[in-house]
Amino acid sequence: MSTTVGSVTLPNPVMTASGTGGHGAELDAYLPLADLGAVVVKSLSADPWPGNPAPRVHATPSGMLNSVGLQGEGVEAWLADDLPALVATGARVVASIWGRSVEDYRRAADALAAAPAAVVAVEVNLSCPNTEAGRDLFAHDPEATAAVVAATAGCGRPRWAKLSPNTPRVAEVAGAAAAAGAEAVTLINTVMGMAIDPETRTYRLGAGERGGGLSGPAIHPVAVRVVHDVHRAHPDLPIVGVGGVVDGPTAVELLLAGACAVQVGTATFADPRAPARVAADLEHWCRRRGIPGMAELIGGMR
């Protein structure tokens, strides 16, 4: 079940997704975090950030719309207050960072240079739509993406660029991220959406006209398509697939499309044990079919 994401070796290809498992060891009460490929923590900025006004979450027929807005305590507080308990579980940790400017990203990455060895990679979140940037994301522009990735080298760890499905240029952006130093790309972040209450004629989310990000099973076909297209355009670029993974078969879809690992996100809100359940289901799926290892699945479309 082992796999590699660039220079990072994981015991299995299933991780949590940023923003869905907390900042630290919150999920350890439900599953042994050390048994996952890695734990990807909620995105952190260089400074504390309050996030968006409530309400922040709205259920949809096949997923969830959220406008949490990247609330967080900042990298320095996370290193002191949350990371020690997570490291104590034996988990491999992927830190996630975000910023409103290139300098913000640089500061967040530099602050991670002192993190312990359990932090095996840094996911550079270029694509969250739940901020005042709205539709104008770093991940929508190859040059802006390259500038951020280049600025984050100070973390001293492999970087994975988390990109947006909300642009037709995603393959071009992925190439720019790799050229600037990203070892891998994470595909995809949420799809821009909105919900309106028919009775009150008001927005259902506190972010108002900015809307929120749609996640869950509703976006799984979008994730499969983006992973497929980026893998075809950049066959040597490692991809972490995320979007609507709920069981072994949905994980396999992303692996066949070209991902070398997957993340489980929205499913965790309904079942905190979902990442472990997906990992076990994936292993069972492979054993029943006599598949000897992940290499046979990754990019294995016929």
Task: Confirm whether 260 is a catalytic residue.
Answer: no
The pLDDT value given to residue 302 = 84
Q: What's residue 127's pLDDT?
A: 85
Q: Is residue 200 part of a domain?
A: no
Q: Residue 84 phi/psi, 5° resolution?
A: -55, -45
- In angstroms, the CA 287 to CA 88 distance is 31
pLDDT tens digits for range 213-243: 999 999 999 999 999 999 999 999 999 999 9
The domain total for the chain is 1
Instruction: Give the per-residue pLDDT at 80.
Output: 97
pLDDT of residue 135: 55
- Whether residue 59 is contained in a domain is answered as no
Residue at 205 is within a domain: no
pLDDT value at residue 8:
98
Report the chain's mean pLDDT, rounded to a whole number: 95
pLDDT for residue 131: 53
Domain presence at residue 57: no
Torsions phi, psi for 183 (to 5 deg): -80, -20
Residues with Cβ within 8 Å of residue 242, at least 6 apart in sequence = 17, 186, 187, 188, 189, 223, 254, 262, 263, 264, 265
- Identified catalytic residue from 128, 155, 260, 286: 128
User: 33 in a domain, yes or no?
Assistant: yes
Q: Which residues of 261-271 are buried (b: 16+ CB within 10 A; e: fewer)?
A: bbbbbbbbbee
Q: What residues pair up with 154 in beta bridges, in sequence order?
A: none
What is the span of the domain harbouring residue 33?
Answer: 3-49+71-192+218-296
Q: φ and ψ at 104, to 5 degrees?
A: -60, -45
Rounded Cα distance between 186 and 38, Å, is 14
- Answer whether residue 155 is part of any domain: yes
* 78 within some domain: yes
Do the domain assignments include residue 65? Answer: no
Provide the b/e sequence for 16-38 (b: ≥16 CB within 10 Å).
Answer: bbbbbbbbbbbbbeebebebbbb
In this predicted structure, what is the pLDDT of residue 132?
45
* 3 state DSSP class of 140: helix
What phi, psi does 255 have (nearest 5°)?
A: -65, -45
Please tell me the pTM assigned to this model.
0.96
> Is 150 in contact with 232 (CB distance < 8 Å)?
no
pLDDT in tens, 123-178: 999 987 645 444 568 999 999 999 999 999 999 999 999 999 999 999 999 999 99
Residue 130's pLDDT is 46
Tell me the two tokens of residue 199: 């009775």
Q: What is the CATH number of the domain that holds 43?
A: 3.20.20.70
* Alpha-carbon span 71 to 42, nearest angstrom: 9
Q: What residues of the chain score a pLDDT lower than 50? A: 130, 132-134
Whole-number pLDDT of residue 139 = 93
